[in-house]
Amino acid sequence: MVMHIDPVAGLPYSSLRQLRARRALSYEAIAYIAAAVDFIWLFGASTLGYFTYEYLAFGIYEDWSLHVGIGLVVATIFVLAMSCAQAYQPEKLIVPGQQIFSICVLFTGTLAFLFTVLFFLKLGATFSRGATLFGASGALAGLVCIRYLWHYRLPHAIAHGTFLMKQVLLVCRSDFSVDGLEKKAAESGLAITQIIRLSDEDAANPVPGEILRSVGSGDIDEILIVWSEADSTALESCLTALRRSSLPVNVVFDGILGGIVCYGCERIGGMAAFQTQRPPLTFLERCLKRSFDIAFALVSLIALCPMLLIVALAVKIESRGPVLFVQSRNGHGNRPFRILKFRSMTVMEDGSEVQQVTRNDKRVTRIGRFIRSTSIDELPQLWNVLRGDMSVVGPRPHALAHDDLYSSLIEQYAFRRHVKPGLTGWAQVNGCRGETPTVDRMEQRINHDLWYINNWSFWLDVKIICRTVVCIQDISKVY
Instruction: Please name which of 320, 319, 281 lies closest in space to residue 420, comparing C-alpha atoms.
Output: 281
pTM tops 0.75, yes or no? no
At which of 274, 291, 323 does a domain end?
274
Asked whether residue 71 falls in the same domain as residue 7, the answer is no
At which of 124, 159, 194 does a domain end?
159
Asked whether residue 89 falls in the same domain as residue 208, the answer is no
Residue 248 CA to its chain's centroid (Å)? 28
Total domains present in the chain: 3
Asked whether residue 290 falls in the same domain as residue 348, the answer is yes
Rounded distance, CA 339 to CA 349, Å? 13
Q: What is the DSSP letter of 389?
A: S
pLDDT at 475: 46
Asked whether residue 138 falls in the same domain as residue 91, the answer is yes
How do 163-164 and 166-173 pair as beta strands?
Answer: unpaired
pLDDT at 478: 40
pLDDT at 186: 73
Asked whether residue 336 falls in the same domain as residue 387, the answer is yes
* Beta-bridge mates of residue 253: 227
| pLDDT averaged over 10-residue windows placed end to end, the chain, 479 residues | 40 44 68 91 82 66 67 88 86 81 86 79 65 80 90 79 78 77 74 77 56 65 78 73 79 76 74 77 90 93 91 88 88 88 77 63 81 85 94 89 82 84 90 76 88 88 85 49
Name every residue whose Cβ is closer than 8 Å to that of residue 37 and which is 6 or more positions away in sequence: 146
Asked whether residue 341 falls in the same domain as residue 240, the answer is no
Asked whether residue 51 falls in the same domain as residue 170, the answer is no
Name every residue whose Cβ is closer than 8 Å to that of residue 8 and which is 6 or more positions away in sequence: 158, 159, 165, 186, 191
Q: What is the DSSP letter of 364?
A: B
* Beta-bridge mates of residue 430: none
Instruction: Supply the range of the domain harboring residue 331.
Output: 283-478
pLDDT at 354: 62
pLDDT at 95: 80
Within 217-325, where are the H helices? 232-242, 256-261, 283-318
- Whether 161 and 191 have beta carbons less than 8 Å apart is answered as no
Asked whether residue 310 falls in the same domain as residue 440, the answer is yes
- Whether 135 and 45 have beta carbons less than 8 Å apart is answered as yes
Asked whether residue 244 falls in the same domain as residue 127, the answer is no
Asked whether residue 124 falls in the same domain as residue 92, the answer is yes
HSE-CB for 168 with a 13 A CA cutoff: 25
Asked whether residue 260 falls in the same domain as residue 301, the answer is no
The CATH number of whichever domain residue 248 belongs to comes to: 3.40.50
Asked whether residue 46 falls in the same domain as residue 100, the answer is yes
> Would you call 165 helix, strand, or coil by DSSP?
coil
At which of 100, 125, 159 does a domain end?
159
